[in-house]
Structure 1
Amino acid sequence: MFKLLIAEDVKTVRETLVRSIPWDRLGLSLLGAAENGEEALALVEREEPDVLLTDIGMPRMNGLELIEACKTRKPDLRCVILSGLNEFEHARQAIKLQVQEYILKPIDPEEIEKVFASVVAELRKEREARSGSRAERSIREELPNVAEALPQKEWTGNLKKKKLVEQALRYLNDNFRRRELALSEVAAEVGLSEKYLNLLVKEVTGQTINHAIVRLRMEEAARLLKDPANRIYEICDRIGYADQDHFREMFKKQFGLTPTEYRNRYL
């Protein structure tokens, strides 16, 4: 049985959700129904639900703010939005927050049952996958380039989180040489907020996105420095740095040597 929390400020809608949907039959245990975002966030921290069903337009903290705050604390929380047509413009932001589904009011119990049956099925699959060492090994085998470029802590957590991090790191591996590369671009690539992506990558790899970019650039610079045909100012430009002094500073911080000292050691 998975745990569900409801956040809805309209009393009639809240009571309908509690009483009209056969949550037990769907494999969900209803923890409670909060009437505002702050109350819901407190329940998330205390009860650690698996699924959140929330309205958007709530007092104190709206549904999107609630989801972002919850994801920071519990990244694998499944979130479903139930909202009115006049708030549908928020759907794009909901997608970026990895919301499972965006259900429009008025309430259709049959649609809600269908959505949550799908959510529970996905949760069950992930629970089974986490218990199998074969699935863990397959994830490690899917990271050939990134695994070589970045030292990684022991992989823990669910497969979806790992897949998202894998996607972000692959994008870094392909684009770290570009000067304009930024966290916002990587976050957009995987459909997450910048803050949540950074937290997720750090949880899995032990590094922030910016640290990963710097490390990739410095390792590429070290490789290029071993060829005397590559001039230092050219290397600086090729790995995305406009300022040679900044490049020199970052390289020395990484390897304990300036680029010139490093090159002399290998010539």
Structure 2
Amino acid sequence: MYRLLIADDEARIRKGLRNSINWAELDIEIAGEAEDGEIALKLVKELNPHIIMLDICMPFLNGLELIKKLKNVNKKSIIIIVTGYDQFEYMHEALKLKVFDYILKPVNRENLKDTILKAIQELSKIERKRNYLDWTSKQVDENLNSLRQVFFNNWFNGKLSYEDILEELKFLKINFSKCIGMVTIKVVEKFKMELYVRNWDRELLNFAIINIAYDLLKNFKPEAAFVDENNNIIIFTNLCNSSEWYDLGNKLEEKVYSYLGYIVVTEQEKILNVINEVKDTYSKLVCKINEKIQCKPVVLLTMKYINTNYNVNDLNLQGVAEQFNVSSSYLSKLIKQEIGISFSDYLTNIRIKKAICFMEDPKMKIYEVAEAVGYSNQHYFCKAFKKVIGVSPTEYRGGNV
């Protein structure tokens, strides 16, 4: 049943409107009456009527002023002006305020009924539209993951324009901040026979890995995830700061193995220019992932060990080789062969990469950064940093080269 509010400062007018139509036949109840604009405003807030019939000339708050206030209180009500003022300026102002209709006093019963029937038709149309929007919203929510899968694959395959991307992000409720993080995860198939504790269905496995990642990344507010055509899992997070960001990959690899018994490799990157850089960053990370999974198991495990223990001051080839029961000469040769650089260079590159991350914190001194990435000697750290980056840590931090 629709609720009607009548607002007029004359009691006889209110009574006349109340008695002029069999409101129940039209499925309308008169929910309230008001003798001035302020009372009407209060009743609108309390009763939330579907239809408001009001006079222009009322004490304290006239009809036009009331309508302006109603726009901030109840935008859904249909407003019908019933007034004795047949003047252009009033009608013009009423039209500007988008009132539904304008009836002159004395009110003709048939005209009133016709206007109310039109209002009911409009309310019915609004309700159907609202129901349809609710239904479509529910359908989107229920199929959100599938829709996002299609969107990201289209984006990364270059099928969407800049405007399409912005529109789809909004439609799919993906709210990227100015700085986001992209994490790429891949199961290493070559370990399947040796280390899998359960033969998971791939779709279920991907779902489980995403859940573990979301839990680990909760402080970074994970925004969206999808699985590409080659079973690379991509997760996007919003980044407020990145002081812990570059250690997340190692933690994720450890958690997935601990919970599921699967070996995965990860790559991650910060993105500042989201729309323009996401596609290229995705391609770069997938390329790095594919290079990693081609490595022999012992090399892959060595890389993972270095990524986790880069901050150990005396980390060296001999000690790592002992961890995996191989000779240092064999491991050294294998690393050079598989990734193209020596053990020492790989370790240095990882340490400098981590150092750059720590240096984003302006409160952290250079010697503290050096210690945090495994250098007990600041001078040696600065020398290694300049060799990799081309400038000293101080110059890098000052110019953010």
TM-score by length of 2: 0.35
Secondary structure, aligned partner of 2:95: helix
CA RMSD of aligned residues (A): 3.5
Q: Aligned residue for 2:60?
A: 60
Match of residue 148, structure 1, among 166, 175, 188: 166
Indicate how the Cα distance of structure 1 residues 109 and 130 shifts in structure 2: closer, same or farther if over 3 A, else same. Answer: same
Provide runs of 4+ in structure 1 moved above 4 Å: 133-137, 144-147, 149-155
CA distance in 2, matches of 1:37, 1:59: 7
Q: Aligned residue for 2:339?
A: none
What does residue range 103-122 of structure 1 map to in structure 2 within 5 Å?
103-122=103-122
What does residue range 1-267 of structure 1 map to in structure 2 within 5 Å?
1-132=1-132, 148=166, 152=170
Indicate how the Cα distance of structure 1 residues 102 and 129 shifts in structure 2: closer, same or farther if over 3 A, else same. Answer: same
Cα deviation, residue 88, structure 1: 4.3
Secondary structure, aligned partner of 2:24: coil
CA distance in 1, matches of 2:105, 2:165: 45
Indicate how the Cα distance of structure 1 residues 145 and 63 shifts in structure 2: closer, same or farther if over 3 A, else same. Answer: farther
Q: Which residue identity does 2:64 align to in structure 1?
A: L
Q: Which residue identity does 2:166 align to in structure 1?
A: E
Secondary structure, aligned partner of 1:59: coil
Cα deviation, residue 14, structure 1: 1.2
CA distance in 2, matches of 1:146, 1:73: 35
CA distance in 2, matches of 1:38, 1:98: 21
CA distance in 2, matches of 1:5, 1:44: 8
Secondary structure, aligned partner of 2:61: coil
Q: Which residue identity does 1:46 align to in structure 2?
A: E
Q: Aligned residue for 2:184?
A: none
Q: Which residue identity does 1:81 align to in structure 2?
A: I
CA distance in 2, matches of 1:9, 1:98: 23
Cα deviation, residue 7, structure 1: 0.4
Secondary structure, aligned partner of 2:123: helix
Cα deviation, residue 89, structure 1: 2.1
Percent of pairs with identical residues: 34
> Contact 1:18 / 1:33 at 8 angstroms: preserved in 2?
no
TM-score by length of 1: 0.51
> Contact 2:86 / 2:104 at 8 angstroms: preserved in 1?
no
Secondary structure, aligned partner of 1:52: strand
Q: Which residue identity does 2:98 align to in structure 1?
A: Q
Indicate how the Cα distance of structure 1 residues 53 and 148 shifts in structure 2: closer, same or farther if over 3 A, else same. Answer: same
Unmatched segments (≥5 aa) in structure 1: 138-143, 156-221, 223-267
1:74-111 CA-to-partner distances (Å, cap 9, x unmatched) read 11111000111444421111112110001111111110
Indicate how the Cα distance of structure 1 residues 87 and 60 shifts in structure 2: closer, same or farther if over 3 A, else same. Answer: farther
Q: Which residue identity does 1:117 align to in structure 2?
A: L
1:95-151 CA-to-partner distances (Å, cap 9, x unmatched) read 1211000111111111011001111111112212222256669xxxxxx96993797
Cα deviation, residue 27, structure 1: 2.1
> Contact 1:80 / 1:102 at 8 angstroms: preserved in 2?
yes
> Contact 1:27 / 1:120 at 8 angstroms: preserved in 2?
no
CA distance in 2, matches of 1:134, 1:99: 29
CA distance in 1, matches of 2:46, 2:166: 39
Unmatched segments (≥5 aa) in structure 2: 139-161, 174-272, 274-401
1:10-69 CA-to-partner distances (Å, cap 9, x unmatched) read 121111011122222122110122111001111001111111000000100001111111
Secondary structure, aligned partner of 1:25: helix
CA distance in 2, matches of 1:117, 1:135: 28
Indicate how the Cα distance of structure 1 residues 136 and 36 shifts in structure 2: closer, same or farther if over 3 A, else same. Answer: same
CA distance in 1, matches of 2:96, 2:165: 26
> Contact 2:51 / 2:79 at 8 angstroms: preserved in 1?
yes
Higher relative contact order (Cα pairs below 8 Å, separated by 6+ residues): 1
Q: Which has the larger radius of gyration?
A: 2
CA distance in 2, matches of 1:54, 1:147: 46
